[in-house]
Structure 1
């Protein structure tokens, strides 16, 4: 397969994607003519069963997979990604992990500013192995923020965290999004997480988007809110989960 070079998007970020297909070897395509628009500043969650193509799509948008075909792929010039694993280099201090491969002068100041935003500026000179799982994931977010992204890609960034840390990280991501307003695409398996965070929820199945739903309940949202029950039931059904009565 030949890839199509991405084009710069309109000012303010966003995604415009048309007819994206990705196959591996001679197997059936993982992504099948997928089209997607994300508006500048919009927070979008992407749900799907394992193997539906969620992470494949994110890797393409992040520029980590070029072996695809598409009629159009339009992205902002600044894209950052945070994965489920923080992917910190253990031989570099925390602040150096934050600005790794980042050009410019006074990179320590850049790192400290990003770490302060995630509440970890006091850990700037720590070694990564001394951090808790939640702290390491905060460093990963700081690294993404240091690049001042117009598009922030999150690939199940809370999946390996305990429940309480996960809630804290969800609130942090929402606060950072409100402050900086990048477009966000969050890949997750967690229906409730998508409902709490996103403006819009997509469901990917067999390489195609089969549902595209706006979340109109104002933030902050509570999972106990009965107004969210119909949306939760619909999403669970689309994912093949039968909710108990």
Structure 2
């Protein structure tokens, strides 16, 4: 793959769901990404942490094909799906139509129904988006992403606007759906605990590059107070410039 404007037509490296080499992105005189290298294996759950403005969402948008101004070598799985913090449902279409929107192949409505059943929303097929709770709307967004059976699922802080109890149930749902469908996942988040509870590997974006990575070799479900997670959490917080004692 030759260096060029970043595009999603290139194939990922053998055995990978996504590969990034030397990715750069500037906004005017400000360089946000300064040579990012990244691999995501098929079925791997990767979380990306970083300070505000570090370029996390910019990297995700490039992988999603939503930012064509970046430079570098990009290879992604054939099908990419995205779920954002805002569910971005079409307000004048009912829930079932939102999930089936743009879906290709045989029986799109039947597949959309099955996806909504997976996220526990069978009774809301004909609901309007504005009648849904925040957690329900986010479930619809996940159903819309997963019904396409993506090789790469991109999650841009999808739980950031949810209350604590809803967030816990959404974490469980995402892990269950990921285990069932096994896409490669990149989760962008500000929440260190969320990253450690969900991901196989946690990355820290700093200075425009992947500055650190930590494997999380623990079976799921995980508990925040597990001694291994406590140690990993402290190390990641320090990488992010936060004193772990201040968050205890």
> TM-score of the superposition, structure 1-length normalised?
0.95
Q: Which runs of 5+ in 1 are unaligned?
A: none
1:57 aligns with 2:56: no
Deviation at 1:107, TM superposition (A): 2.1
Aligned to 2:195: 194
TM-score, scaled relative to structure 2: 0.94
Provide the rounded CA distance (Å) in 2 between the counterparts of 1:48 and 1:8: 27
Shift of 1:226: 1.7
Q: Distance in 2 between matches of 1:13 and 1:209?
A: 18
Residue correspondences, number: 243
Report the Cα distance in structure 1 between the residues aligned to 2:111 and 2:17, rounded to whole angstroms. Answer: 25
Aligned to 1:140: 141
Aligned residue in 1 for 2:77: 76
Assess, with a 3 A threshold, how the Cα gap between structure 1 residues 165 and 106 changes in structure 2: closer, same or farther. same
**Residue in 2 that maps onto 1:117:** 118
Counterpart CA distance in 1 for 2:147 and 2:169 is: 21
Within 1, Cα distance between the matches of 2:146 and 2:38? 24
List per-residue Cα deviations over 1:2-38 (Å, max 9, x = no partner): 613331236875111100000012x221000111111
* Distance (Å, rounded) in 2 between the aligned partners of 1:131 and 1:243: 37
Shift of 1:206: 2.2
- Alpha-carbon distance between aligned partners in 1 of 2:7 and 2:244, rounded to the nearest angstrom: 43
Contact 1:13–1:151 (8 Å) recurs in 2? no
Q: Does 1:93 align with 2:94?
A: yes
Q: What is the correspondence of 1:1-245 to structure 2 with a 5 Å cutoff?
A: 3-6=5-8, 7-9=10-12, 14-25=17-28, 27-70=29-72, 72-244=73-245
Report if aligned partners of 1:9, 1:77 keep a CA contact under 8 Å in 2: no
Contact 2:64/2:81 (CA < 8 Å) preserved in 1?
A: yes
List runs of 5+ in structure 2 lacking aligned partners: none
